[in-house]
């Protein structure tokens, strides 16, 4: 395991250093993704690192939700950015669980650490403001597919904010793993990546070694099969994000790495 370079990556109460188990959207396999009910279930299973996404409503409220629209997983319709919170709050995931504000999740789970994907630019400033107002600097890592978006968050917040790389940053790190001197943003604390992108492998021994040499942890998403989890852990990755919470817990327990 690479030594954490930010308190977000610490493991308070852990018996020994080991990989971080992330509950992806709280554990999306049961269909209640990004709801307080999903995160409560993850917490009951022993998860302490949660992954979620944020969008801003028309009136600037920060909703923990993956899609830009309500259509796929709720009983409502419409773009979150076009709707006021008073309307969005009436939507229910799977017809039974309300959408939470990210601030509500921070409050309900004070011992949890949150990996937050900024899904759209209007959510950026409200998220940085919320982290600062709640003094959650040690509890939140900000990521996005957009490297420019994450870089802007880092500029607004300064070194107190933990960030991961966007696509461009990951590409730079991947090129460096082949000895190509590509630029990478300083200040990130981890690379959060898929196993492969468009059929091209991202995570291999070379990539992990290069990231670790820069003091970066490697977290891989979204891994739901036990054999893939085992292979990645054998490569030395520092964290796995999964929808299948029981599967990852069983794999880590068998390796005496469940903390």
Segments in the chain below pLDDT 70:
1-4, 12-16
Residue 12, domain member (yes or no): no
pTM to 2 decimals?
Answer: 0.95
Structural domain includes residue 224 = yes
49 is catalytic: no
Contacts of 22 (CB under 8 A, 6+ apart): 47, 49, 50, 51, 115, 219, 221, 239, 240, 241, 242
Which 3-state string (H, E, C) describes 62-104?
EEECCCCECCCCECCCCEHHHCCHHHHCCCEECCCEECCEHHH
What length is written for the chain? 259
Residue 7 per-residue DSSP state:
G
User: Rounded CA gap, 162 and 9, in Å?
Assistant: 9
Q: What are φ and ψ of residue 61, in 5° steps? A: -85, 140
Residue pair 103/129 in contact (Cβ under 8 Å)? The answer is: no
How many structural domains does the chain have? 1
Q: How many alpha carbons fall within 13 Å on the CB side of residue 196?
A: 5
- Alpha helical stretches, state H, the chain: 36-45, 85-88, 102-108, 124-133, 147-157, 167-177, 205-213, 226-235, 245-254
Give residue 30's pLDDT. Answer: 86
CB atoms near residue 64 (< 10 Å): 27
Whether 4 is covered by a domain: the verdict is no
Q: Is residue 6 a part of any domain in this protein?
A: no
Stretch (H or E) spanning 257:
none
Question: Which of the following is catalytic: 6, 49, 55, 66?
Answer: 66
Residue 13 inside a domain? The answer is no
Residue among 6, 24, 49, 55 flagged as catalytic: 24
Q: What CATH code is carried by the domain that includes residue 237?
A: 3.20.20.190
Q: Tell me: the pLDDT tens digits for 83-108?
A: 999 999 999 999 999 999 999 999 99
Task: Look at residues 51, 49, 41 and name the one whose alpha carbon lies nearest to residue 259.
Answer: 49
Quote the CA–CA distance of 35 and 53 in Å, as a whole number. 11
- pLDDT score for 200: 87
Distance, in Å, from the CA atom of 227 to the CA atom of 233, rounded to the nearest integer, reads 10
The residue segments making up the domain with residue 175 are 18-255
Is residue 196 in a domain? Answer: yes
Q: Is 136 inside any structural domain?
A: yes
In a domain, 159, yes or no: yes
């Amino acid at each position: 395991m690479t030594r954490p370079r930010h308190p977000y990556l610490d493991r308070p109460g852990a018996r020994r250093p080991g990989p971080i188990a992330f509950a992806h959207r709280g554990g999306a396999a049961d269909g209640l993704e990004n709801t307080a009910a999903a995160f409560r279930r993850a917490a009951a299973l022993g998860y302490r690192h949660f992954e979620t996404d944020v969008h801003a409503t028309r009136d600037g409220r920060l909703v923990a939700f993956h899609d830009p629209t309500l259509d796929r997983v709720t009983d409502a319709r419409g773009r979150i950015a076009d709707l006021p919170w008073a309307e969005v709050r009436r939507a229910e995931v799977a017809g039974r669980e309300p959408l939470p504000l990210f601030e509500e999740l921070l409050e309900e789970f004070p011992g949890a650490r949150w990996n937050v994907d900024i899904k759209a630019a209007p959510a950026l400033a409200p998220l940085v403001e919320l982290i600062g107002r709640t003094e959650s600097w040690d509890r939140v890592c900000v990521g996005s597919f957009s490297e420019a978006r994450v870089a802007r968050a880092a500029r607004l917040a300064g070194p107190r904010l933990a960030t991961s790389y966007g696509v461009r940053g990951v590409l730079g790190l991947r090129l460096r793993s082949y000895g190509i001197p590509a630029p990478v943003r300083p200040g990130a604390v981890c690379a959060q990546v898929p196993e492969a992108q468009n059929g091209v492998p991202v995570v291999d021994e070379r990539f992990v070694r290069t990231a670790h040499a820069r003091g970066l942890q490697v977290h891989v998403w979204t891994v739901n099969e036990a054999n893939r989890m085992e292979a990645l852990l054998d490569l030395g990755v520092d964290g796995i994000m999964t929808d299948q919470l029981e599967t990852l817990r069983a794999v880590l327990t068998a390796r005496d790495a469940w903390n």
